[in-house]
Every structure is written in C-alpha cells, then in structure tokens.
Amino acid sequence: MDGDESLSPSTGFPLLGRAYSDRFPVDHELNSYFVETYELEDELGAGGYGFVMTARHRTGGHETAVKFIIKDKVPAHAWVEDESFGRIPSEVMLVSLLEHDNIVRCLDIFEDSHYFYLVQELHGTPWVSRKKAQHQELAVPSLTPSSSCSTLDSLPLLTPHPTDTAIWESQLEQFRNGQKQPENLQPLPPPAFGRRASHDLFECIEQSRHKRLPEPQARYIFAQVIEAVHYLEQLGITHRDIKDENLVIDSDLKVKLIDFGSAVVSDPEQERPYYQMFYGTTAYAASEILQRKKYQAPPAEIWTLGVLLSFLLTGSSPFLSEDDAIHGRVSIRESIATTLSEDCLSLMQRCLEPDPSKRADIYEVRAHPWLQGTLDIECL
C-alpha cells in the first residue's frame, strides 16, 4: 500500500474512495466513520445521480446496499431540514422513517463533502437470465437465483421532487405514538471491481421460462406490493415510480419496494394535490399523464399497479400503443388470456380505467376477490 495513502486513524482502513471503486473522484476521501463500520464490496448499479454498492458491516457481518447520492445533483427544491442530520435530500429523510415489511429499511446515514450515503438492507436474490441458468421447469414458488456476479443492471437512483416535510413527519409521529395505526389485515490502483447480478423483479421475471410468472406467484408478489402502497397511502405518501426494477425480490418471492426519489407527500385527510410534472417511467404512465393533463398521484399510482400486474402475468405491457394506453384498451395475447382467471383480469381492468375519477383506489384493490385469501408461500 502506498505510504501517502489516506488511512482511517483508528483502524488503518483506506479512506480514499478509489481503493473501493473507480466511480469515486480521484483523491476523494470517504467518511471515516463509514469506512470503520462498513467494508465496500461490489457494485450493484449506477445512474445520473450516483451509484449503489454492497457493503458488509465489519462487526455484524451482514451485507447492505449503499446508495451514494451526489450532492451537486440534488436540485435545490429536493432538500429538507432535519433536526438530527441537518439539510438532507427528502428521499433520505423519508426512507429513514418508513417501517414496513415490504419496504426496504434504512440502516444508517453518512455524508462527506461530495455524497450522502444511504445505507439500506440488501434484500433479494441475485438473478440471472434463463439462458445463464440451468434449463429446467420452474416449480412453484421456486425460481432460479444466481450465486455468480455475471451481470450488471443499473438500478434507478435518486429522482428528487419537493415534498412537504412537516406533513409526513407529523403523520409518522402519529403512527409511532400509537395515536393512529394502519389497518392490519393479515487500495490504489483500483482493483477489478466485482459486479452483482440484479436483485430486482425485472430479472426475476426475465429468467423464467416464459418470461412471465404463473398466476399464483404473480398474486403472491402483487399482494405484497399492495400492502406497501396501502401503508404509504395512509401516511399520505405516493411512491410514483413503482415498477419491476424498483421491487427487489428473493428466492422465496419476498418483495420490498425501493427508490423513493420520486415520492410525494400530502395530508391524507385532505384532497390530494394536482401535479403537472411527471416523475416516473413512461411505460407505466397513466392515461391522464400521457394526455399531459394535471394529475393526482394516488390514482396514477393505481394505474401503475395495473401495468405491473400485466408485466407479472404476461411479461409485457398491457398496451400496444400510447393511444391504447390513453383509452385504456388492454391487449393480452389470447393464448395467455385464456389461462388467467376472470378475477385477475377484472382487477387489471379496474386499475387501468382511463378515467381517474372512476379508477379503483388502493382500498378497492386491496379488497378485490383476486387478492382475498392470498396463499402462504409454503402452500404454493
């Protein structure tokens, strides 16, 4: 090791980011407390606002996912003031407070002159495409996880948006104080850095034989997503970028929602505000958004869920064109449609109602017959 390399004074671990990844600027020093606590390992993905790496806790031994958010990339309107951490991106604040079994947990927050470090639980199984896996018939609920690091898939990173901090801090405080409870139904030069296979639902679906999931698996996964959205709705939070790449999943089909960079928050007791700017993924954009109309976030979220359901069950979008999406004309290949239950298809259609005032809300979706009595994974 170079004699002039910057080291942590208490542990002797390298502080220069380039000791761990060439994505860090030359001569950039990492937060010493972070380096003493976590050992950076593989890269998971990268985007315009930063990148994600795995890191192992030096004493606890558990793996985490660390999202390095570039401060200069965060717009002026996407910052909030926190009593403990000071001025931080709204996404960091939000993720640090949410607590739900189907939402990835925040474990630690660090910062240096260049980055915020959002340390989160590393959930999910590394997946590879079916071509790289042993060719065999899928058993329910098992899929084919990968123990290799042969693929790299960019994870969606921070897409900031302003949010009303006071409102959602108040709502979360109510939950935690028991005043309100959610409804509960059931070294240099840099080494050759490793890259992990994706942990997300997109790769999980892609590796399956038909690039779509059997209905029982789809239902089990979708029900978990609905629980996360239901929890957020009660807090006045809308994620606004739910898609297969923002859902991490393990070999037991346990799902967790990630990336709250596009989330908005409002008072759940008041009429939801209208927005003009669209933050999300075009393939999942609701009819009213495609028409360039002002939109409310919750109904647009339900549309997104309908598109997600189609990807789960058919491996593709429910629409052949933008015009079809605008008018809610769902197209599913007959060879697939005939294998799906009527309840499943009716739920998809209720989510993809082109008129947002007539579209199902999260409560209707959650109570839909197709999701009632969802089987335990052991029973699938």
Mean pLDDT of 245-261: 91
Name the least confident of 42-51, 101-110, 144-153. Answer: 144-153
Residue 195 lies in a domain: no
The one-letter code for the residue type at 69 is I
Domain count of the chain? 2
Higher per-residue confidence, 362 vs 178: 362
Helices 297-314 and 215-234, packing angle to 10 deg = 170
- Looking at the fold, whether 281 and 368 belong to one and the same domain comes out as yes
Higher per-residue confidence, 236 vs 132: 236
Return d(Cα 232, Cα 309) in angstroms, integer: 19
SS3 14: strand
Q: Which two tokens stand for residue 4?
A: 């002039």
pLDDT at 160: 34
User: Is the dihedral angle over the CA atoms 279, 124, 51, 233 positive or is it negative?
Assistant: positive
**202 and 308 in contact (C-beta within 8 Å)?**
no
- Looking at the fold, whether 100 and 244 belong to one and the same domain comes out as no
Higher per-residue confidence, 31 vs 171: 31
- Looking at the fold, whether 364 and 264 belong to one and the same domain comes out as yes
- Given a cut of 70, is residue 156 above it in pLDDT? no
Residue 79 lies in a domain: yes
Burial per residue of 215-235, b for 16 or more beta-carbon CB atoms within 10 angstroms, e otherwise:
bbbbbbbbbbbbbbbbbbbbb
Q: Domain holding 100: CATH number?
A: 3.30.200.20
Residue 136 lies in a domain: no
Which domain-ending residue is among 114, 142, 176?
A: 176
- Looking at the fold, whether 206 and 355 belong to one and the same domain comes out as yes
Residue 137 lies in a domain: no
- Looking at the fold, whether 215 and 319 belong to one and the same domain comes out as yes
- Looking at the fold, whether 220 and 169 belong to one and the same domain comes out as no
- Looking at the fold, whether 372 and 231 belong to one and the same domain comes out as yes
Return d(Cα 200, Cα 252) in angstroms, integer: 13
pLDDT at 85: 77
Q: Which two tokens stand for residue 261?
A: 């960079």
Instruction: List alpha helices for 58-149, DSSP H.
Output: 90-97
**CB within 8 Å of 335: residues ≥ 6 apart:** none
Question: Would you say how long the chain is, in residues?
Answer: 380
The one-letter code for the residue type at 229 is V
Domain encompassing residue 164: 17-128+160-176
- Looking at the fold, whether 82 and 229 belong to one and the same domain comes out as no
- Given a cut of 80, is residue 11 above it in pLDDT? no
Name the least confident of 1-10, 94-103, 129-138. Answer: 129-138
Under the banding of pLDDT at 50, 70 and 90, the label for residue 307 is: very high
Under the banding of pLDDT at 50, 70 and 90, the label for residue 190 is: very low
- Looking at the fold, whether 119 and 215 belong to one and the same domain comes out as no
Q: Which two tokens stand for residue 299?
A: 């109904």
Q: Domain holding 357: CATH number?
A: 1.10.510.10
Mean pLDDT of 122-131: 71
Higher per-residue confidence, 202 vs 328: 328
Residue 2 lies in a domain: no
Mean pLDDT, the chain, integer: 82
Cα-based torsion angle of the residue sequence 198, 203, 204, 209 in order, rounded to the nearest 10 degrees: -140
* Nearest alpha carbon to residue 285 among 249, 247, 318: 318
Mean pLDDT of 17-43: 95
Which domain-ending residue is among 143, 176, 209?
A: 176
pLDDT at 187: 37
- Looking at the fold, whether 325 and 362 belong to one and the same domain comes out as yes
- Given a cut of 80, is residue 168 above it in pLDDT? no
Return d(Cα 66, Cα 80) in angstroms, integer: 21
Structure-token match 């090791």, residue found? 1
pLDDT tens-digit readout, 206-224: 888 788 999 999 999 999 9
Return d(Cα 21, Cα 316) in angstroms, integer: 35
**CB within 8 Å of 7: residues ≥ 6 apart:** 13, 14, 15
Residue 27 lies in a domain: yes
Higher per-residue confidence, 102 vs 195: 102
- Looking at the fold, whether 172 and 215 belong to one and the same domain comes out as no
- Given a cut of 50, is residue 279 above it in pLDDT? yes
Return d(Cα 338, Cα 199) in angstroms, integer: 31
pLDDT at 254: 95
pLDDT at 134: 40
- Looking at the fold, whether 166 and 219 belong to one and the same domain comes out as no
Residue 185 lies in a domain: no
Name the least confident of 129-138, 340-349, 352-361. Answer: 129-138
Q: Which two tokens stand for residue 255?
A: 């799902």
How many CA atoms within 13 Å lie on the side-chain side of 173?
6
Write down the pTM of the prediction: 0.81
**351 and 366 in contact (C-beta within 8 Å)?**
no
Return d(Cα 359, Cα 194) in angstroms, integer: 45
Residue 191 lies in a domain: no
Radius of gyration of the chain (CA): 21
Mean pLDDT of 35-64: 92
Residue 244's φ and ψ, nearest 5 degrees, are -60, -30
pLDDT at 197: 64
List % helix, strand, coil for the chain (3-state, nearest 5).
30, 20, 50
- Given a cut of 60, is residue 36 above it in pLDDT? yes
pLDDT at 145: 38
Percent of the chain with pLDDT over 70: 78
Under the banding of pLDDT at 50, 70 and 90, the label for residue 147 is: very low
Catalytic positions = 241
Phi-psi region of 165 (alpha: psi -120 to 50; beta: other; left: phi over 0): alpha
Higher per-residue confidence, 7 vs 173: 7
Return d(Cα 100, Cα 232) in angstroms, integer: 9
